[in-house]
Amino acid sequence: MKIENTKAQMRKGVLEYCILSILKDDDAYVAEILGTLKDAKMLVVEGTIYPLLTRLKNAGLLSYRWEESTSGPPRKYYGLTETGKLFLKELNTTWEELQNAVNLVTKQKKK
């Protein structure tokens, strides 16, 4: 079994939560979202993020708007809908519970 496969699956499992968290305070376009994920060492490619953003939009968690750019074509900015904000709040609780459970099982101390 290769560790890289397991690591990729773990990252994939939390990607939706990370994207919603990035958008909690302000709208962002794909390059900004990817940059934030990259800075956090969450390696994601555009081919992965676009279908996920579309799925989140279709689920009513995200909306988008087009905005003109001074440095190229218009940009599509994504933001949380009210439903998305409520969903993220629930995910925050679930993440905290999961984190505590994993820490207990693996005997890790919470920082």
Average pLDDT over residues 101-107: 91
Residue ranges of domains in the chain: 3-106
CATH 3.30.70.1290 fits 3-106, yes or no: no
For the chain, what percent of residues have pLDDT higher than 70? 96
Using pLDDT thresholds of 50, 70 and 90, give the confidence band for residue 42.
confident
Using pLDDT thresholds of 50, 70 and 90, give the confidence band for residue 2.
confident
| Sign of the alpha-carbon torsion through 39, 44, 77, 95 | negative
pTM of the model: 0.85
For the chain, what percent of residues have pLDDT higher than 90? 72
DSSP 39-77: HTT----HHHHHHHHHHHHHTTSEEEEEEEETTEEEEEE
Give the Cα separation of 84 and 59 in Å (integer): 9
